[in-house]
Amino acid sequence: MQFRILPNHGKKRKMTIKHSILTKASFAAIFCMTFMLNGCVGTSLRSLATTPTPIVHQPRLDPTSEKSEIAVSADAFGIVNGNWLNTNDIYGGGGIVSGTFRAGGAISPLFASAHVSGFGGKVNFECMNKKGCKSGFQKWMNSDDGKDDYNFWGIQEQVMVGAEFDTRFFMNFGLAAGARIFQGGGSYDDKRDELEEEYKVKNRDDGYGASPAVSLWLGFRIGDKAQNGSIIAQVDYANEYIVDDNDEGVLPITLSYFHPSGFHGGVTFVKNMYYNLYFGKTFTF
């Protein structure tokens, strides 16, 4: 009769589990030490050509009209104390040229529009999340170079198609969708390229890009045929409207007043972050 000693698989399994736990614990410790030494790896920057501009839809001057028409607008705007992704103290201004074609007859609610805006100004770098900033970037911001003002410029082109509706009860609303292209530059863009190389700050774009764009608006006429004008609230969406390192986005809102003479003005804002004041004139043919 022969006797065989069987291996203790239970003991081996316990040793394997213990080894796995120790490996994970070691990895976690290394990760934590790396985080403490280098800071948050998510600190990022974006071209200021992606900031909101007051590209707004103007309703028909005569809400009862079903004729086809072409409207051309020219606007000037100013950026007032804005802040964006890890930047602050944004001041500047620019202009917008827009063209809109409205269909007539049975398809009179439909329209197509194109917009080109150019702007520029100055900006400072800022770490929005003090506790999560990369230590190298935080140290650089405390230097003389980090406290300097930097200039920027941006161009946006946007093409939209949509529909607008008038309820005949002093209210109008609409929807438009299309695409937006942006490109920008300046000493701000040059510096963020240097920061990416030296401190591993993440740049979310190369100074240019494109994304879908969507606009929704709701308005009220002042007077039966808007003889005293219209007030419109518009909400816009674009992929670049990301305002922090956690990929949280915002929806800029524009409040506008349109006079029957074609003059109009208003403000585009992201609450507690970004403000544009604009004024312009529309010519209808």
Q: Which segment of 26-30, 101-105, 141-145, 264-268 scores lowest on mean pLDDT?
A: 26-30
Percent of the chain with pLDDT over 90: 54
Residues 233 and 254: their CA atoms lie apart, in Å, by 6
CA distance 152 to 85: 14
The Cα–Cα gap between 85 and 128 comes to 8
Q: What pLDDT sits at residue 199?
A: 85
Q: What is the pLDDT of residue 38?
A: 39
| 101 has a pLDDT exceeding 50 | yes
Q: Of 213, 211, 217, which is closest to residue 254 (Cα–Cα)?
A: 217
Q: What is the pLDDT of residue 265?
A: 97
Q: Per this entry, what is the length of the chain?
A: 285
What are the tens digits of pLDDT across the range 47-89?
999 999 999 988 887 777 889 999 999 999 999 888 888 899 9
pLDDT tens digits, 83-100? 888 899 999 999 999 999
pLDDT on residue 177: 97
Nearest partner of 82 among 95, 69, 91, judged by Cα = 91
Q: How many CA atoms lie within 13 A of 121 on its CB side?
A: 25
Please report the DSSP string for the chain in residue order. Answer: --------HHHHHHHHHHHHHHHHHHHHHHHHHHHHHH--TT-EE--GGGS-----PPPPSSTT--S-EEEEEEEEEEEEEEEETTEEEEEEEEEEEEEEEE--GGGTTEEEEEEEEEEEEEEEE--S-TTTS-HHHHHHHTSHHHHS-EEEEEEEEEEEEEEEEE-SSSEEEEEEEEEEEEEEESHHHHHHHHHHHHH-PEES-SSEEEEEEEEEEEEEESSTTSTT-EEEEEEEEETT-B-STT--B---EEEEEE-TTSEEEEEEEETTTEEEEEEEEEEE-
Q: Which of residues 139 and 190 earns the better pLDDT score? A: 190
| Residue 108 clears pLDDT 70, i.e. is over it | yes
The average confidence (pLDDT) of the chain is 84
Residue 15 and residue 23: Cα distance in Å, rounded?
A: 12
**pTM score:** 0.80
Do 99 and 139 form a contact (C-beta atoms < 8 A)?
no
Kindly tell me if the per-residue pLDDT of 247 is higher than 60. Answer: yes
Q: How far apart are CA 85 and CA 45, in angstroms?
A: 6
Other CB atoms within 10 A of residue 106 CB = 8
pLDDT digits (tens, 9 = 90+) for 147-185: 999 999 999 999 999 999 988 778 999 999 999 999 999
Q: How do 44-45 and 202-203 pair as beta strands?
A: parallel
Question: What would the two tokens of residue 219 be?
Answer: 């308005």
The 10s digit of each residue's pLDDT in 111-132 is: 999 999 999 999 999 988 777 6
- Of 17 and 229, which is predicted with more confidence? 229
Residue 82: predicted pLDDT: 85
